[in-house]
Structure 1
Amino acid sequence: MENSRRHFVLSLIAYAALRDVPATQLCRLSGIDLAALKADAGYAVSNQQLDMLWREASQLSGDPLFGLHFGESLQLSALGIVGDIIRTSDTVGMAVEKAASLSHLLTDLFRIAVESSGNVFIIRFLPQTGRPDTFSFRQTLELFMVFVVHEMDGLLLRKIKPVAVRLPYRLENAEEYTRVFRCTAEKSTAEYALIFDREYQQEPLLTANYDIQQTLLRKVNEGITVTGGELGEKIRHYLLTNAYLGIPSLNEIAANFNVSPRTLQRKLKDEGISYQDVADEVRKSLAIHYLEEGGYPVKEISYMLGYNELSAFTRAFKRWTGRTPLSFQKN
């Protein structure tokens, strides 16, 4: 198995760069050699360095919920393990259990257990440390929990809402947790858990065409480095690399970048564009790519791009190209 922790650290640094955190400064303060990390596949990041990386990323970005928001943007492909999971899983439940069994590659702070009970299946995060109240533990835990929720979107090609989210501490920004998890988080005695309707567990994987997914990611990620850039380009990269989750709303993307929707729109306006311009450009690029690859039905592409109705996608695609998606695909 490839160095998954290295993939994880690189993804964290790249996400911090999207949030205007200088990668070189972040790594220097965390005691990490950025050049060696990028060049050497065997470079090891210690637990202490990872803890410092969390703290500095949160502080430099001004976001105390950095882990929660990073979880929204992270996907299995960034960890280098998506192929193993998808190639050996037929159902969503199998994929979740496989991912849980590999969690030790990224953290030893907790282990993940999956169980069924009545009409639900439960994903528990079980602390493996004597200090589960540390900053690093909470950031890592929240990242994994929201990551699971959003990764299930990619497996099922629709937005999934948990039955319940349970955390054993008081939330200072409860509204943001509700937005990210799509349900109100319950305060439990000592339980870290996600609860889903059991019907999802047996559903077949809809994104099992791993080669096409990887082709898209390679094309998208060519030339992307952990340096900053204009806001419009940062958002464009974010939308492309998270395309399997659909295109988020202005409010959702603003929350992920830790700014208000009004501020985001103002900054984009200064660059001569709007969020709608960027979102439509990404939708168009992805639609054309998926149709040219020929591996997805038009209806499935519509869902992947965030359209609830095929007719809405058809109208948009015709506006972009002058042709319907079906006629484009056939030719």
Structure 2
Amino acid sequence: MAYAAQRDLPLDKLCHLSGIDLEALTSGEQVAIGPKQFNDLWLNACHLSNDPLFGLHFGESLQLAALGIVGEIIKSSTTVGQGVEHAVALTPLITDLFGMTVARDAHTFTFRLHPNHARRAASPFAFEQMAAFFLVFAVHELDGLILARVRPERVTIPFADHAFSELERVLRCQPTRSEDDYAITFDSKYWDMPILTANYALQESLLQKVNAATSGKPGSDSWQDKVQQYLMKNAYLGIVSLDEMAANFNVSPRSLQRKLKDEQVTYQELADEVRKSLALHYLETGGYYAKEISYMLGYNELSAFSRAFKRWTGTTPAGYQRNFE
């Protein structure tokens, strides 16, 4: 529902159509939501947003939330494999629509969803949306554990033809159509990688910055504020592209550019402002090399980051950081 609000869906209408008492829910009362209501909530969210891949895009928008969970896993794991096993064990705390297992062979490891058939029968539409959500979340988890954008080896999922290109974009891999198999496979080289405690510190630093930047900020109907907040919340390992941003709001890239132009700002200007804000935060916090910061902000070369930083501030990252030593 929070993501629905972010997508500008009318929550009162969404809840009414789904048979949920929004007033009771927001007042803190105990509200029981049954399988049919849960299924209708997903169905109506897709209908009102005109987005049949609502669950997929919901998972894509949760990079920051994924980091919070991954941060806890990092504290109790020494390798990526241990972190993956701990994450899989947490699945029943999130949903009873399916379980999740991880299996290994000589070359790969695979997350697979195992449907709870009774629950699936009661909430079939919710099952499909949650399955897509979990597969995307698995990608973000690997990203957070090794501080890199991971590309799966294979994704197996039932899907309609029109969804192919968007599944490929979000999951970073051409999907393989199946009758009833939901699985995502990664190269085994990641399994025994050590988890660096520095990863947790970097993630905590980003979470603190985003929380400080967005807490208490009143909601705004301006596209500039919506885009800037989404950029900030999804700035981990680079800045979201214009195409990705447009897909989240279910508009075309050209339409989004036009909406921003009407507010006298460009997407590039907003992206640069977020990069600058995060760069200053990392340098002021201390303990991070310019090369690390450059990579976190999505620059392929340190020289490109240094040029951008000098354009923003008139000095180099190293020169700026010396002021806080």
Partner of 1:172, secondary structure, is: helix
Q: Sort the Cα spacing of 1:237 and 1:156 in 2 relative to 1 into closer, same or farther, 3 A.
A: same
Specify the alignment match of 1:7 in structure 2: none
Superposed displacement of residue 35, structure 1 = 5.2
Superposed displacement of residue 77, structure 1 = 2.9
After alignment, is 75-84 or 304-313 more displaced? 75-84
Residue pairs, 1:278-317, within 5 angstroms: 278-317=270-309
Deviation per CA, 1:186-228: give whole Å up to 9, x if none: 1234321101011122223352125424422421330257x56
Residues in 2 aligned to 1:249 and 1:147: alpha-carbon distance in whole angstroms = 19
Specify the alignment match of 2:138 in structure 1: 148
Superposed displacement of residue 52, structure 1 = 2.2
Asked if structure 2 preserves the Cα contact closer than 8 Å seen for 1:20 and 1:228, the reply is no
Asked if structure 2 preserves the Cα contact closer than 8 Å seen for 1:157 and 1:303, the reply is no
Superposed displacement of residue 111, structure 1 = 0.9
Residue pairs, 1:87-98, within 5 angstroms: 87-98=75-86
Does structure 1 residue 222 correspond to structure 2 residue 210? Answer: no
Letter in 1 for 2:76: T
Does structure 1 residue 323 correspond to structure 2 residue 315? Answer: yes
Q: Sort the Cα spacing of 1:90 and 1:79 in 2 relative to 1 into closer, same or farther, 3 A.
A: closer
Does structure 1 residue 123 correspond to structure 2 residue 116? Answer: no
Deviation per CA, 1:259-315: give whole Å up to 9, x if none: 111111001101111110111111111111111112432212111111111111111
Letter in 1 for 2:40: M
Does structure 1 residue 15 correspond to structure 2 residue 8? Answer: no
Consecutive unaligned residues of structure 2, counting only runs of 5 or more, are none
After alignment, is 260-269 or 291-300 more displaced? 291-300
Residue pairs, 1:1-331, within 5 angstroms: 13-34=1-22, 37-38=25-26, 40=28, 45-75=33-63, 77=65, 81-130=69-118, 131=120, 134-206=124-196, 207-209=199-201, 211-223=204-216, 229-331=221-323
Specify the alignment match of 1:10 in structure 2: none
Q: Sort the Cα spacing of 1:45 and 1:88 in 2 relative to 1 into closer, same or farther, 3 A.
A: farther
Superposed displacement of residue 23, structure 1 = 2.8
Q: Percent identity?
A: 53
Consecutive unaligned residues of structure 1, counting only runs of 5 or more, are 1-12
Q: Sort the Cα spacing of 1:145 and 1:49 in 2 relative to 1 into closer, same or farther, 3 A.
A: same
After alignment, is 250-259 or 36-45 more displaced? 36-45
Partner of 1:240, secondary structure, is: helix
After alignment, is 130-139 or 193-202 more displaced? 130-139
Residues in 2 aligned to 1:240 and 1:24: alpha-carbon distance in whole angstroms = 27
Residues in 2 aligned to 1:144 and 1:215: alpha-carbon distance in whole angstroms = 25
Asked if structure 2 preserves the Cα contact closer than 8 Å seen for 1:290 and 1:296, the reply is yes
After alignment, is 184-193 or 114-123 more displaced? 184-193
Q: Sort the Cα spacing of 1:75 and 1:103 in 2 relative to 1 into closer, same or farther, 3 A.
A: farther
Residues in 1 aligned to 2:166 and 2:29: alpha-carbon distance in whole angstroms = 36
Asked if structure 1 preserves the Cα contact closer than 8 Å seen for 2:246 and 2:256, the reply is yes
Asked if structure 2 preserves the Cα contact closer than 8 Å seen for 1:17 and 1:228, the reply is no
Residues in 2 aligned to 1:182 and 1:228: alpha-carbon distance in whole angstroms = 32
Asked if structure 1 preserves the Cα contact closer than 8 Å seen for 2:70 and 2:144, the reply is no
RMSD: 2.4
Residues in 2 aligned to 1:261 and 1:273: alpha-carbon distance in whole angstroms = 15
Residues in 2 aligned to 1:329 and 1:32: alpha-carbon distance in whole angstroms = 52
Letter in 1 for 2:259: K
After alignment, is 74-83 or 153-162 more displaced? 74-83
Partner of 1:202, secondary structure, is: coil
TM-score after normalising by structure 2 = 0.89
Superposed displacement of residue 18, structure 1 = 2.5
Letter in 1 for 2:247: A
Q: Sort the Cα spacing of 1:217 and 1:27 in 2 relative to 1 into closer, same or farther, 3 A.
A: farther
Partner of 2:155, secondary structure, is: strand
Residues in 2 aligned to 1:253 and 1:202: alpha-carbon distance in whole angstroms = 34
Partner of 2:102, secondary structure, is: strand
Residues in 1 aligned to 2:10 and 2:208: alpha-carbon distance in whole angstroms = 29
Letter in 1 for 2:103: E
Asked if structure 2 preserves the Cα contact closer than 8 Å seen for 1:150 and 1:245, the reply is no
Partner of 2:151, secondary structure, is: coil
After alignment, is 23-32 or 241-250 more displaced? 23-32
Residues in 1 aligned to 2:277 and 2:164: alpha-carbon distance in whole angstroms = 36
Superposed displacement of residue 160, structure 1 = 1.2
